[in-house]
A = this chain, B = another copy of it.
């Protein structure tokens, strides 16, 4: 096992960090970018495209960079460190990841270039109101209509659903009495498509997306069950979000230690109070354990076994979810009142960590998924998954 970055990876990380620093050196950058449509900095998105970041996970054949999960992880962590609102994990890794993994050659050729060059943003409409995380689509259905397919139902929340130029949609397909999960592509000018845009509490945008006999094209082979590809690409997106969370936790801890060093109370710096510094030490422990797990999950993704990838992502979510809540809560508490204000940076980190946790589906759901299989092996061997 080897956790060292090679020179190219280091260069990529540093370049992304420098680029992001140009806009997001302070929390004002995020505030400005999220204050107006589309909810991120379009100039930044373009520069990320120029740098090749938006094509990282796709093969060169598909117009991408042919990089892998490690490069995705590096970018995600840098985005998390500065809370950049660009929807890398959601649009590139998840929505386009589904196109790359399940789409036909024509679909890839049609959709990916615009995504990679930054002109089109894709969204994945998957969450359904009231459904627990990780369950297959139920309320949005796809039915065959002659040569084509029609979608009906509601997806909500769909991240940047109203800003997206193309929608990937999961739907329930009735296959002779049993349900299958299908993936579809919907054009944003499709009939019967309605998108209602609103802000989320972490400052980005989401939408309620309604389908009423809306024409849709199956992604890849029509009628095939997409559960496996959905699980695998979801695992990739989850691990990317875990890295984004790790980046956010690292900065939350930095802000906290800086505050403890500089802020005075009762005539002395806060770091004089051992009850506070010990809690910062525990935050560091949480951070490093979460980082280790996210890195390992990335390596498992890169190793290529899809079943192992899903389990590794699940473990990463379990660890990240606990660490994110711990660090997010303590970061505010150790700051005191100022940590509650939108003017100061640290609360935004807690806010984003909370949103990531909800999007990942929360710790318990993932722990239960692991618990279901705990009797099937003796020990977890990180080197032989």
- A residues at B contact (CB < 8 Å): 273-275, 277-278
The answer for the CA separation of A321 and B277 in the assembled complex, in Å, is 30
Q: How far is the CB of A118 from chain B (nearest CB, A)?
A: 50
5 closest Cβ contacts across the A-B interface?
A274-B275, A275-B278, A275-B275, A274-B274, A273-B274
Interfacial chain B residues near A275, Cβ < 8 Å: 274-275, 277-278
Interfacial chain B residues near A274, Cβ < 8 Å: 273-275
The answer for the CA separation of A275 and B278 in the assembled complex, in Å, is 7
The answer for the CA separation of A274 and B278 in the assembled complex, in Å, is 10
Interfacial chain B residues near A277, Cβ < 8 Å: 275
The answer for the CA separation of A273 and B276 in the assembled complex, in Å, is 11
Query: Which label, helix, strand, loop or mixed, suits the secondary structure of the A interface?
Result: helix
The chain B residue sitting closest to A278, CB to CB, is: B275
The answer for the CA separation of A278 and B333 in the assembled complex, in Å, is 15
The answer for the CA separation of A370 and B228 in the assembled complex, in Å, is 38
Q: How far is the CB of A26 from chain B (nearest CB, A)?
A: 33
**6 A-B contact pairs sorted by A residue (CB < 8 Å):** A273-B274, A274-B274, A274-B275, A275-B275, A275-B277, A275-B278
The answer for the CA separation of A277 and B275 in the assembled complex, in Å, is 9
The chain B residue sitting closest to A281, CB to CB, is: B275
Interfacial chain B residues near A278, Cβ < 8 Å: 275
The answer for the CA separation of A273 and B273 in the assembled complex, in Å, is 8
Q: How far is the CB of A364 from chain B (nearest CB, A)?
A: 14
Q: How far is the CB of A261 from chain B (nearest CB, A)?
A: 17
Interfacial chain B residues near A273, Cβ < 8 Å: 274
The answer for the CA separation of A278 and B274 in the assembled complex, in Å, is 10
The chain B residue sitting closest to A273, CB to CB, is: B274
Q: How far is the CB of A281 from chain B (nearest CB, A)?
A: 10
The chain B residue sitting closest to A279, CB to CB, is: B275
Question: Which of A273, A277, A278 counts the most B-chain CB atoms under 10 A from its CB?
Answer: A278
The answer for the CA separation of A278 and B277 in the assembled complex, in Å, is 13
The answer for the CA separation of A274 and B271 in the assembled complex, in Å, is 12
Q: How far is the CB of A299 from chain B (nearest CB, A)?
A: 35
The answer for the CA separation of A275 and B275 in the assembled complex, in Å, is 4
The answer for the CA separation of A212 and B374 in the assembled complex, in Å, is 40
Q: How far is the CB of A267 from chain B (nearest CB, A)?
A: 15
The chain B residue sitting closest to A277, CB to CB, is: B275
The answer for the CA separation of A274 and B275 in the assembled complex, in Å, is 5
The answer for the CA separation of A280 and B136 in the assembled complex, in Å, is 48
The answer for the CA separation of A278 and B273 in the assembled complex, in Å, is 11
Q: How far is the CB of A343 from chain B (nearest CB, A)?
A: 29
The chain B residue sitting closest to A276, CB to CB, is: B274
The answer for the CA separation of A335 and B273 in the assembled complex, in Å, is 21
Q: How far is the CB of A235 from chain B (nearest CB, A)?
A: 31
The answer for the CA separation of A36 and B354 in the assembled complex, in Å, is 59
Q: How far is the CB of A334 from chain B (nearest CB, A)?
A: 13
The answer for the CA separation of A273 and B278 in the assembled complex, in Å, is 11
The answer for the CA separation of A274 and B277 in the assembled complex, in Å, is 10
Q: How far is the CB of A283 from chain B (nearest CB, A)?
A: 14
The answer for the CA separation of A273 and B275 in the assembled complex, in Å, is 8
The answer for the CA separation of A322 and B278 in the assembled complex, in Å, is 23
Q: How far is the CB of A266 from chain B (nearest CB, A)?
A: 12
Q: How far is the CB of A268 from chain B (nearest CB, A)?
A: 12
